[in-house]
Structure 1
Amino acid sequence: MPTVDPRAAEKAVLVAYLGAQRRHVLGILDGLDDEAMRRPVLPSGWSCVAMVQHLTLDEERFWFGAVMAGDQEAIDELGAAGDTWTVAPDLPVAEVMARYRSEIERSDAIIAGLPLDAPPAWWPGELFGDWRLDDLREVLLHMIVELACHAGHLDAARELIDGRQWLVLTD
């Protein structure tokens, strides 16, 4: 009988849950036109496309590209990106969505190349003070929580836009 590596099994579970949250984000937005993607519906004023841009830059690129991979380009973009919640009106929604999918692929490649106990290659101490995530395992858990939270925000926005709900069982 083959032996199962518990670390590999744990990593597979974490990656599966991360993927499920990413699919939730993409699934709840499926079918929205550009106007609906750009329309803010909550009092804070963010739009669905702004949330996707935030997930691309402040979540996927930051946590996996900058923190875990130590990619200097991703690190340098942190200050240059400005307000990631503001999407330029001339930036096509399809391009924002494509960037998100591309960043997910990049993140997945980084995750695949690291063990769960890999420490961050870079840490933004000036942003977080004493708070720190110690390894890929903690970054994956953090990202699962972040994506689940933001997927819930998108659920609320989508329901306000056109009444669609995610994973609702009907009679």
Structure 2
Amino acid sequence: MTSTEQLTRERADLLQTLRRHRGFLLHTVDGLTDEQAATRSTVSELCLGGLIKHVAGIEERWMLFAVGGAEAMQREEVDWVGQFQMAQGETLAGLVERFRQIAEQTDELIATLDLDAAHPLPQAPWFEPGASWTVRRVLLHVIAETSQHAGHADILREAIDGAKTMG
């Protein structure tokens, strides 16, 4: 794993913040069974295992973008519904392991990528037409996504067994 001591202050700050929010998310699912992780504990379609899967996928796709732009990000089609659910045969341990592998790859990239390098965003109704994002902006987006979903996970966990992981 990349040592933050070897990174510039900005890179170290970005990496430390991302790691903190990943840690919050992973702490939320600690000790759950696969059945609990797949439980829809609110009126939402979200489950904890699905959130782990979604955040891993988000991080992976955005880091593909950081390296190779929209084309690299869109090589594989996204299952917009299934990414939030645990599929038949998926386990929480397997989803967490994949999340950690992607996190490790991202940590290594943060140490090497030019934070000022930019790529045009993919065409989508939620992006400004013709806009580009720098690698720095991509990392901030991944941090925001991870943080937001860690909060969602905390609510779902509390509805399952009363545990409050962030409060």
Same-fold call, TM > 0.5? yes
Matched with 2:149 is 150
Distance (Å, rounded) in 2 between the aligned partners of 1:151 and 1:140: 16
- Aligned counterpart, 1:96: 95
Where does 1:132-143 land on structure 2 (aligned, <5 Å)? 132=131, 134-143=133-142
Distance in 1 of aligned mates of 2:146 and 2:30: 17
Matched, 1:165 2:164: yes
Q: Deviations over 1:7-58 (max 9, x none)?
A: 921221111101100011111111111111010112122110111111111x
Q: Structure 2: how far apart are the matches of 1:69 and 1:41?
A: 37
CA deviations on 1:102-143 (whole Å, 9 max, x unpaired) are 1111111222211321223x6312463427452121112112
- What secondary structure is seen at the aligned counterpart in 2 of 1:116? coil
Letter in structure 1 aligned against 2:15 = V
**SS across alignment from 2:8:** helix
Tell me, yes or no, if the aligned pair for 2:41 and 2:156 is still in contact at 8 Å.
yes
The reply on whether 1:62 has 2:61 as its aligned counterpart is: yes
Q: For residue 24 of structure 2, what is the aligned residue in structure 1? A: 24
Name the Cα RMSD after superposition.
2.3
Give the structure-1-normalised TM-score.
0.81
Identity of aligned residues (%): 30
Distance 1:54 1:131, change over 3 A: farther
The Cα of 1:92 is off from its aligned counterpart by: 2.3
Secondary structure at the aligned position of 1:104 is classed as: helix
Where do 5+ consecutive residues of structure 2 fail to align?
1-6
* Structure 2 match to 1:123: 121
The corresponding residue for 2:85 is: 86
Contact persistence 2:38–2:85 (CA under 8 A):
no
